[in-house]
Amino acid sequence: MKDEDDTRNIAPRIGSPLWIYMTAISVVGSGVLGLALFRVSGISEQARHPMFWVVAGLILSGEIWRIATSGRPKSESAAAARAVTVGVMLYWGFPAAVLLRATAVIIGGVAQRHTPQRILFNAAQLAICLAAAGGALLALGFDPMLPGHSWAPDRPHFLALLAAAAAYFAVNLVLVGTAVALRTRAPLASVLRANARYQAVASIVLFATAPLVSVAMGTGSALVVALFAFPLATIYFSAAMSVRSEHQANHDELTGLVNRKMLAGRGKEFLTRASAAGTKAGFLLVDLDRATGLKQVNDTLGHAVGDRLLQIVAHRLSHSVRPGDVVARLGGDEFAVLLPSVREPGVAREVASRLRAALAEPVRLEAITFEIRASIGIAVYPDDASSFEQLMQRADVAMYVAKERGNGTERYKPDYDRNSADRLALLGDLRGTIARREIELYFQPKVRLSDGQVIGMEALARWPHPRRGILVAADFVPLAEQSHLMSELTEQVVDKALAQAARWWTDGYEVQVCVNLPARDLLGDHLPDLVRRALRRHGLPPHALRLDIDEELLAGRAAKAAVTLRGLADLGVGVSLDDFGNGYSTLAQLTSLGISEVKLDAALVRGLPDSLDHNVTVRSLVMLARSLGIRSIGEGVESGAAATALRALGCEGAQGWHFARPLNARLAREWLADHYMHDAEEVLACADAAEPLRQELKGPPLPESQASLAAAVCPAQAPRPAVAS
């Protein structure tokens, strides 16, 4: 709980319960301050004495430099100014004490850039607490309005001080506790119970010191009063050192967020409160996606930039949660958010959406723009778990489901436990499969539309699982990326693809093989050396290999990939841009990164030739690529009509089930053998069939030679294209 001088440094929403409460307390406290100002006397005379300024300095110092308390933020620690203020009230009276303390609160609040409403509330509630203490003194026969009383160590004075301390403590506990309860949406009773012990101990210690201040003031010596600065300073520095050690043990050194150890303690405490109050608590597990994660930044730009990125992530998370929520760093690029109180599970999802939106804002470091994406798993107590450890585990399960589905946020469901077990089992199988080099490659032809020549064979990874059958890349590549098996898998796929290409070249089919490249490998600096060694090992020239990269990789990361792409270009290996047209790449990126081929997004191709919008979009993209000297390839071609439309729109090549489904190595060899020769008459006949559609779409004129549309329009005729690089 915040102590008597603190509320969170934000202005509550106008009209909210917290705003109404703080306004009411501010009005009442302002009345008390006005009364003190009206009744004060002798201040001008006292101000001429050095002791006045010594006392004022002690109060201001005690207000700004609080006595740190283990387990509590600095703002929640006790203020030594309370002891001096009560001593002033015992000697100079209530008006002087409350005005000196209010002045110190205002000066300290302005110096620390607190909001005006926070400063006014703190000064007002302090005035009310001192008024309560003064009322207790008055009830026992000591008029707090009259100055010049020094405290005496007798029974009446002791009882009066005890009553004043109790009144101050009770009023302060209720005033500040109510503000905290409204701010955190926690039950008032639970807030008071949780903080009564700490506030009681602080009040006893500080009020026990107040009579000594009064006695020192009674000597009339400013030097004697100033001596109090030394024990207060000793207490301050000793407590600060203790808290610093405690903070280092419970907080992340880089980001300042609480660590896993402290999060577990807070989590158990909050779940106990939620159980007693019959409320719910939420837990969010936030993990940066691998494609935009910490490792890629560290590998590319160094750990110093990676540390700065983590600090930015921590800052955004901390400033996007609700008051009272706890943000922690669990390690690496994994964070957690503990929601002590949620009315319903939907509130946790709203917080998660706000966190993802905050993280999605571009980050610029080292003249490079980063896009941060995160997957968030949600679990709610007691709906999804009965303990904090279980809450964390189930949020972790939900986070992996969100990562696999690519939807960003997912709440735990009981069915996910089975999926999680399956995922862990599959990951173990994948690790063994990669170690035994059991990943197989299938190949899909890439055909030039103008003359039907084969311009490449795309290698597609397949996993022959003993129980699940043949798994496509989408079933296991995300697992490899999450478990740091991706680099080993990429090396294996490149090696096997080039080994197969070497066999084709030996048989007379000089076919270029294409391999899809994950973002992680492109963002590292090891890829050119890996490719160089593999080409040398299989005795192939660089143009025998083409690497495909996803266009989404260019979303804020083109600069990081440029070094690797330049290395590949220097080596002579071509690079294709997959899924071209989904909105990420720019003209500057295409020209600067050495892209020599773009693959039109399959979603655009599927709309041909029926969708006018798709026709216009494809034609524009093709013309853009052609103007830059870049070859365009249509992906996902499943019909002759789509192939014909692509050719009519000027696209140079295509691949898809219309030409051939993915083939294993044996069938791919047979396909190449069967399509090595072609029939010129069939080619010309198919070109004639394509001409009406070309006129309708206003595409470029078809050549009159046998360089025609045979392979696209008449696949059943089995034209036999020559092999081209």
Question: 587 and 499, same structural domain?
Answer: yes
Q: Judge whether 9 lies within some domain.
A: no
Pick from 303, 305, 337, 344: nearest CA to 319: 337
Domain span at residue 47?
A: 17-250
Q: Judge whether 487 lies within some domain.
A: yes
Mean pLDDT to the nearest integer, 185-206: 78
Asked if residues 408 and 312 have their Cβ atoms less than 8 Å apart, the reply is: no
Asked if residues 370 and 364 have their Cβ atoms less than 8 Å apart, the reply is: yes
Question: 704 and 679, same structural domain?
Answer: yes
Question: 246 and 278, same structural domain?
Answer: no
Q: Judge whether 80 lies within some domain.
A: yes
**3-state SS string for 517-560:** ECHHHHHCCCHHHHHHHHHHHHCCCHHHEEEEEEHHHHCCCHHH
Mean pLDDT to the nearest integer, 496-510: 93
Please give the tally of structural domains in the chain: 3
Give the number of other CB atoms < 10 A from CB of residue 350: 13
Where is pLDDT greater, at 642 or 706?
Answer: 642
Work out the pLDDT band at 542, boundaries 50, 70, 90.
very high
Give the percent of the chain with pLDDT over 90. Answer: 23
pLDDT in tens, 450-468: 888 899 999 999 999 998 8
Where is pLDDT greater, at 35 or 560?
Answer: 35
Q: Judge whether 679 lies within some domain.
A: yes
What are the two backbone dihedrals, phi and then psi, of residue 711, each rounded to the nearest 5 degrees? -65, -30
Mean pLDDT to the nearest integer, 361-369: 75
Average pLDDT value over all residues in the chain = 80
| Least trusted range by pLDDT, from 284-288, 441-445, 481-485 | 481-485
pLDDT of the residue at 327: 94
Res. 3: pLDDT tops 50: no
563: its two tokens: 């070094």
Work out the pLDDT band at 147, boundaries 50, 70, 90.
low
Work out the pLDDT band at 151, boundaries 50, 70, 90.
low
Q: Judge whether 360 lies within some domain.
A: yes
Give the percent of the chain with pLDDT over 70. Answer: 79
pLDDT of the residue at 679: 39
Work out the pLDDT band at 307, boundaries 50, 70, 90.
confident
Domain boundary (229, 250, 271) is at: 250
276: its two tokens: 């007693």
Question: 706 and 619, same structural domain?
Answer: yes
pLDDT of the residue at 295: 57
Question: 199 and 278, same structural domain?
Answer: no
Q: Judge whether 632 lies within some domain.
A: yes
Mean pLDDT to the nearest integer, 102-121: 86
Question: 97 and 28, same structural domain?
Answer: yes
Question: 215 and 90, same structural domain?
Answer: yes
Question: 492 and 393, same structural domain?
Answer: no
Res. 212: pLDDT tops 60: yes
| Least trusted range by pLDDT, from 116-130, 196-210, 335-349, 705-719 | 705-719
User: CA angle 113-116-122, nearest 5°?
Assistant: 95
Domain boundary (413, 437, 466) is at: 413
pLDDT of the residue at 702: 37
Q: Judge whether 418 lies within some domain.
A: no
Show which residues are catalytic: 635
Asked if residues 214 and 90 have their Cβ atoms less than 8 Å apart, the reply is: yes
Question: 524 and 460, same structural domain?
Answer: yes
Taking each helix axis from N to C terminus, what angle separates 415-435 and 486-506, rounded to the nearest 10 degrees?
A: 50
589: its two tokens: 């990126």
User: CA angle 208-210-214, nearest 5°?
Assistant: 135
Res. 245: pLDDT tops 50: yes
CATH number of the domain encompassing residue 331 = 3.30.70.270
- Scan for tokens 């439309």, then name that residue: 645
Res. 685: pLDDT tops 50: no
Q: Which of 418-427, 601-610, 699-708 has the highest mean pLDDT?
A: 601-610
pLDDT of the residue at 447: 92
Q: Judge whether 5 lies within some domain.
A: no
> What distances in angstroms separate CA 485 from CA 98, 471, 599, one per listed residue?
67, 17, 27
Question: 678 and 535, same structural domain?
Answer: yes
Torsion angle defined by CA atoms of residues 446, 450, 451 and 457, in that order, rounded to the nearest 10 degrees: -10
Distance (Å, whole) CA 713 – CA 81:
89
Res. 405: pLDDT tops 90: no
Question: 239 and 310, same structural domain?
Answer: no
Domain boundary (190, 215, 250) is at: 250
pLDDT in tens, 419-428: 566 777 888 8
pLDDT of the residue at 144: 76
Res. 709: pLDDT tops 50: no
pLDDT of the residue at 678: 46
Res. 402: pLDDT tops 70: yes
pLDDT of the residue at 687: 40
Torsion angle defined by CA atoms of residues 476, 482, 487 and 492, in that order, rounded to the nearest 10 degrees: -20
Distance (Å, whole) CA 223 – CA 52:
11
Coil, strand or helix at 286: strand
Contacting residues for 265 by C-beta, under 8 A, at least 6 apart: none
Give the number of other CB atoms < 10 A from CB of residue 305: 16
Pick from 444, 703, 372: nearest CA to 599: 444
CATH number of the domain encompassing residue 622 = 3.20.20.450
pLDDT of the residue at 222: 84
Work out the pLDDT band at 65, boundaries 50, 70, 90.
confident
Question: 573 and 474, same structural domain?
Answer: yes
Please tell me what DSSP assigns to residue 319. T
